[in-house]
Amino acid sequence: MSRTILMGDPRYFSVRGGANPHTRNVVGIKKTVDAPRARQQWHSMAKTLLAYSTEVLVVEPHEHLSGLVYPANAGFLYPLEGPPADRKTFHLANLLPTRAPEREVYRPFLRSLGLATSDIQARFEGEADFFPAGDYMLFTHGRIERQRFVPRLGLPPWKRIYGFRSDATALDELTRIAGSRTILPLELTLEAHYHGDTVLCSFGRRREFLLAYMEGLAPRSREVLRAAFGVNLLPLPAADAALYAANSFQIEHDGRLFLLMPHGVSADLCRQLQERAVEPVLIDVSEFLAKGGGSIKCMILDLGPSEELPSSPSVAAFRAARSYQNLFPAQP
């Protein structure tokens, strides 16, 4: 079963807002992106997805919207799998202020794919904080802060407050959307892991397994996960979590499951995946993590099985026009 995903053209990828701990150095100065390296990594990732039966559509770049390279924040399609397209809606995220204009880039793009759209009203950042895992939908949230520098004891004599991206109040809207499906609300606690898809990753035929960086969650949320997943919960060690091992993306190809993961994850983690009939595929997107605070899943918006998307002639023409192969035919 082929899958359709969105990626964001990296032409203008840079650090503008500096809105998470990965984007600034120890003294708070915004980092500089190695643009050629980032583009090479982005194209390599896109071509890997194509090689594993994935349709890659590309959102057009906007000079002042560098965050478009991380489309997982755009929102989420629900239900993601199963019903035909006329029973699915894409729910657009309510992003932090520096990225709020992205909504009006994604809206016409998704409608051109034949998808209905609606707007989430609470502060909420899409499938980065709301995604399926087994019988559940996981909703991750944390304290919303005004991002700022504050004084402290030590060197440097200040620190940056970042906060998190999705507010707990979004649960009411998400519950109405999810209907009878159980939502597990989980609280995030580490600003370096500011989205749920940086601490949690579901995988397996029914997404019954869950990678979890438990230290990135509040104690009560850890208990909830242990009760819900039992032996299917795989705690991530700090070293793998720091590489954003949880920010991975599962695909099916030739009847087998593969998990696209950041380059550098441990051999032990790869072994645990293989024991569960999932083969790791390692991809280097280190420039995006080190400078922008996002890895593989952050760079993917999942639109589910390709055959479940609308298939009118106008939609087919739009998909062809925005396909990676047609936009970048000269890429080797």
- pLDDT tens readout for residues 54-78: 999 999 999 999 999 999 999 999 9
pLDDT band at 1 (very low <50, low <70, confident <90, very high): low
Beta pairing class for 233-235 and 249-253: unpaired
- Would you say residue 295 has pLDDT above 70? yes
Q: State the average pLDDT over residues 102-115.
A: 98
The band of 85, judged by pLDDT with boundaries at 50, 70 and 90, is confident
At residue 124 the predicted structure's pLDDT band, cuts being 50, 70 and 90, is: very high
Q: Please tell me the distance from the alpha carbon of residue 35 to that of residue 258, in angstroms, as a whole number.
A: 29
Mean pLDDT of the chain: 96
Task: Return the structure tokens found at 31.
Answer: 């980092």
Domains of the chain by residue range? 3-327
Geometric angle at alpha carbon 300, from 170 and 143, rounded to 5°? 30
The C-alpha atoms of residue 248 and residue 267 are separated, in whole angstroms, by 16
Model confidence pLDDT, tens digit, residues 239-267: 999 999 999 999 999 999 999 999 999 99
Average pLDDT over residues 297-311: 96
Q: What is the pLDDT of residues 6-21, one digit of tens each?
A: 999 999 999 988 899 9
Rounded Cα gap, residues 172 and 191, in angstroms: 24
Say how far apart CA 122 and CA 173 lie, in whole Å: 8
Element (H, E) at 98: none
Flag the least confident range among 119-128, 147-156, 221-230.
Answer: 147-156
Give kind and range of the element (H or E) at residue 110: helix 103-112
> Which token pair is 150?
């504050």
The residue assigned the tokens 């925005």 is 322
Q: Is the pLDDT of residue 311 over 80?
A: yes
Query: Class of the 3-327 domain?
Result: alpha beta
* pLDDT of res. 205: 96
Contacts of 203 (CB under 8 A, 6+ apart): 209, 210, 211, 248, 250, 257, 259, 273, 276, 278
User: 262, 269 in Cβ contact below 8 A?
Assistant: no
How does pLDDT run across 144-177, given as a tens digit for each residue?
999 999 999 988 999 999 999 999 999 999 999 9
